[in-house]
Amino acid sequence: MANDAGGPGGRGADWAGVRERVTALGEAPFAGKVFGARFQGFGHDYRLRPPLTEAEVAAAEEEFGVRFPADYRGFLLRVGAGGAGPHYGVFPLCRDERGWHWLDGKVRNDGALLADPFPSAEQRARWRAEFDAAEPVAADFPDEASHRAAHRAWDDGWDLLDERMTSGAFCLGHQGCGYYTWLVVTGSERGTVWNDLRGCDRGIEPVTLPDGGSDRTTFGEWYLHWLEEAVREAHGR
């Protein structure tokens, strides 16, 4: 199992009273103004899944071959398995006949590649350059049919590369418009949250908070910053 080495993943967060504060926001006078809370049936509506037990969290970690960052682990145990949170909420961690996975249905959610180190920006750029350089060129083939076949095989490799770009991380939730948020659990960036902006060709970038004083943000900082902003907006302050 991947250990806690690397990154700020060992930092905890104070989750006392957070579940109650989140669910109470549903009764606030301007609750519907908070982005992602109530949007055409897709919002989280300030609902949270029940928390997981220590045994359940440990079982998920064992299945994935990793240990979750301390603040995310605390969230699962004290606040909920998922639900209300930044953007359209936090994807729930759940178990069914497939085993443990994050419930979303849109992106890789079964923990595949989770134990592999999260790649650096340089590594991602190198992988992309190698992939592009391997594109079959028509002049290298005796006929159009063989070139098309080789190009299809090359193109099929894109999905594998696309998944590899977020090795060592799992998807926390979606932001809308094809953008996602990931939490790194393995490697030097362990414990930090990243914006996946590949939908607009901006790549994968670390989340930064306006008053955070750092170019990296932990799960606890990300979630609690959202809560403070949601409280302010929902009460019209």
**Three-state SS at 196:** strand
Residue 26 lies in a domain: yes
How many folded domains does the chain comprise?
A: 2
Burial of 193 (0-12, 13-18, 19+ CB in 10 A): buried
- 127 with 112, same domain? no
- Residue 7 confidence (pLDDT) above 80: no
- 202 with 112, same domain? yes
- 28 with 55, same domain? yes
- 107 with 180, same domain? yes
Residue 11 lies in a domain: no
- 86 with 177, same domain? yes
| Residues 124-150 pLDDT 10s | 999 999 999 999 999 999 999 999 999
pLDDT-derived band at 152 (thresholds 50, 70, 90) equals very high
* Domain boundary residue, one of 109, 141, 165: 165
Residue 77, domain CATH: 3.40.1580
- 108 with 149, same domain? no
Residue 1 lies in a domain: no
Q: Residue 223: which domain range?
A: 18-118+166-234
| Residues 209-233 pLDDT 10s | 987 678 999 999 999 999 999 999 9
| Residues 12-26 pLDDT 10s | 799 999 999 999 999
pLDDT value at residue 211: 78
Separation between Cα atoms, residue 127 and residue 53, nearest integer Å: 39
